[in-house]
Amino acid sequence: MPVDNSQKLRLFLVVGATALLAGVVFAWSKPLFPLLIGFFLAYLAHPLASWFARHRLPRILGFAVVLLGVLGVMAVVFLVFLPAVVHELSAAAAKLPTWQEVLHERLEPLFADAQKRYPEAFAVVSEKVTAYFQEKLPQVAPRLAAWLGQVVLSSLSLVSTLLGLVVALVIGAYLTADFPKFLTTLRLLIPRPVLATVEAVVLEVHQVLGAFFRGQLLVALALALMYTGGLALVGAPLALVVGPLAGLFSLVPYLGLVVGAGLALLLTLVEHQDLLHPGLALLVFVVAQNVEGWILTPKLVGRGVGLHPVWVLVALLVGGELFGIAGVVVAVPVAAALRVVLAKALAAYRASKLYRGEPVEAVLYVRPHCRLCDELKAFLPSVADFYGLAVREVNVEEDPDFLSRYGEKVPVLVVAGREVVWGKVTAGELASKLREVLGGASD
């Protein structure tokens, strides 16, 4: 039984609300968080598990390979990367007095010149800045104490966290082994009239997530590695901090470049006090951006449609602000589901009678071998769809009355009994005439 557009619209709104509610429940409920992690691991392991199953091997091997990969990445992060970052931060902290002196020597002449040129404006700005820091600095100690208290409380809940991870691994293993049965059970629960629509939505969500993880995320990771390695080679301070940070921000076009290059230029300038090292640091970002534009993005992302970078950034910010780490974890999958569902809902709404209303009858009079007729027919469908016209085409040579009336003026478009346009016409002129006839708003 076919599903009309109004049913589709209601379905998409229900599915969208369900996806949002599921994401909120998962992020808000700590007992359900291991289930989310387990499902996510099973989702990642499903393609590899299916490959093992096709070769008559247990599906659980796919989960084992993914788990080893995740554990390997975590081991590298906690045993290699984080200690190196701590070491760099400690070294940078030791250099802060020197950097402060350098900045003072460089900036003091500029401030003195500004004060001499614009004394009143300089006094106002200085007063505002001093008042700001006098207000904010006393709050640093209480916030630091509160943060340390949170760290202590988090340490006390370490056993509970480890137990949750163990439960998540067990759930992931079972879901990986029975993933086909799990999907079949879900398909049996979906009402038959909307099964095809739901499957199309789920498939598109899967494709969007795949495009994000295989494309945008891998590009960001590759950029982070290039930035970090390049900055370390040219002797930029805090390369292990600036590089990954710029790679993460590169999910938003140009943001990673601006943030990373700005920090790298400032740090290399105060560290080396010359123009060579800042120039080399800038060269690292230029080379990485060219590699990303000419090689990484065409190969990894291609023409696949993933999540818009701003959509990802907003989802991460909202998820983290509302639900903390759990919200960050579920932000991208929930954002992918909502993006697809909202797009489908908008398409269904624009195709519904609520949006389009009753179609307006229109007749297009044409004749064979008419160049102007072909030009009008090229752009008429999009304009007619926008204004809700039901266009019927008539060949004037098939009726003597039409031939005598419109033969010399073709093409002629008649809407609601009125001749709207005839002869040579552009899309803009046609839209303007239709607004007049149909009572639409002008630009």
Q: List, for residues 241-266, the tens digit of each pLDDT value.
A: 888 888 877 876 677 888 888 888 88
Sign of the C-alpha dihedral, residues 367, 373, 379, 385? negative
pLDDT attached to residue 283: 92
How large is the angle between the packed helices 179-189 and 158-177, nearest 10 degrees?
A: 80
The two counts, helices (H) then strands (E), for the chain are 18, 4
Which two structure tokens, joined as six digits, stand for 315? 């989802």
Are residues 305 and 243 located together in one domain of the fold?
yes
Residue 268 has pLDDT above 60, yes or no: yes
The arithmetic mean of pLDDT across residues 404-410, rounded, is 84
The rounded percent of the chain whose pLDDT value lies above 90 is 3
User: Is 363 part of a structural domain of the chain?
Assistant: yes
Q: Of 297, 318, 348, which residue sits at a domain end?
A: 348
Are residues 260 and 329 located together in one domain of the fold?
yes
User: Is 433 part of a structural domain of the chain?
Assistant: yes
Q: Of 348, 372, 397, which residue sits at a domain end?
A: 348
The strand pair at 389-395 and 360-366 is best described as parallel
Return the higher-pLDDT residue of 100 and 268. 268
pLDDT attached to residue 30: 61
For the chain, the 3-state helix, strand and coil shares in percent, each to the nearest 5, are 80, 5, 15
Whole-number Å distance between alpha carbons of 208 and 312: 12
Residue 159 has pLDDT above 80, yes or no: no
User: 3-class SS at 420?
Assistant: strand
Residue 441 has pLDDT above 50, yes or no: no
Q: Are 67 and 171 in contact (CB under 8 A)?
A: no
Residue 28 has pLDDT above 70, yes or no: no
Are residues 325 and 395 located together in one domain of the fold?
no
Q: Are 45 and 66 in contact (CB under 8 A)?
A: yes
Distances (CA, A) of 355 to 262, 298, 302, 347, 388: 48, 38, 35, 10, 9
Confidence of residue 284 (pLDDT cuts 50, 70, 90): very high
Helix (H) or strand (E) segment spanning residue 268 = helix 255-272
Whole-number Å distance between alpha carbons of 315 and 322: 11
Over the range 316-346, which residues count as b (16 or more CB within 10 Å of their CB) and which as e? beebbeebeebbbbbbbbbbbbbbbbeebbe
User: Is 443 part of a structural domain of the chain?
Assistant: no
Are residues 336 and 363 located together in one domain of the fold?
no
User: Is 255 part of a structural domain of the chain?
Assistant: yes
Are residues 369 and 288 located together in one domain of the fold?
no
User: Is 277 part of a structural domain of the chain?
Assistant: yes
Residue 65 has pLDDT above 80, yes or no: yes
pLDDT tens-digit map of 72-87: 877 877 777 777 777 7
If we measure between CA atoms, which residue out of 6, 8, 5 comes closest to residue 194?
A: 8
CATH code of the domain covering residue 406: 3.40.30.10
pLDDT attached to residue 318: 77
pLDDT attached to residue 372: 87
On average, the pLDDT of the chain sits at 77
Task: Please state the separation of Cα 382 from the chain's center in Å.
Answer: 29
Measured in residues, the chain has a length of 443
Q: Of 348, 373, 390, which residue sits at a domain end?
A: 348
Are residues 228 and 252 located together in one domain of the fold?
yes
Domains in the chain, number: 2
Return the higher-pLDDT residue of 78 and 282. 282
Are residues 122 and 207 located together in one domain of the fold?
yes
Are residues 299 and 405 located together in one domain of the fold?
no
Helix (H) or strand (E) segment spanning residue 377 = helix 371-387
Are residues 173 and 241 located together in one domain of the fold?
yes
pLDDT attached to residue 287: 92
Q: Would you state the torsion angle of the CA atoms of residues 180, 182, 183, 185, taken in this order, to the nearest 10 degrees?
A: 120
Confidence of residue 188 (pLDDT cuts 50, 70, 90): confident
pLDDT attached to residue 142: 64
The arithmetic mean of pLDDT across residues 196-225, rounded, is 78
Which two structure tokens, joined as six digits, stand for 401? 């009355």
Range of the domain at 96: 5-348
Residue 223 has pLDDT above 80, yes or no: yes
pLDDT attached to residue 135: 64
Are residues 281 and 428 located together in one domain of the fold?
no
Whole-number Å distance between alpha carbons of 119 and 137: 27
User: Is 423 part of a structural domain of the chain?
Assistant: yes
Q: Are 60 and 195 in contact (CB under 8 A)?
A: no
Q: Are 309 and 252 in contact (CB under 8 A)?
A: yes
Q: Are 237 and 268 in contact (CB under 8 A)?
A: yes
The arithmetic mean of pLDDT across residues 130-134, rounded, is 66
User: Is 353 part of a structural domain of the chain?
Assistant: no
Whole-number Å distance between alpha carbons of 219 and 221: 5
Are residues 327 and 411 located together in one domain of the fold?
no
User: Is 181 part of a structural domain of the chain?
Assistant: yes
Are residues 261 and 364 located together in one domain of the fold?
no
pLDDT attached to residue 354: 72
pLDDT tens-digit map of 357-389: 777 888 999 988 888 888 888 888 888 888 888
pLDDT attached to residue 440: 47
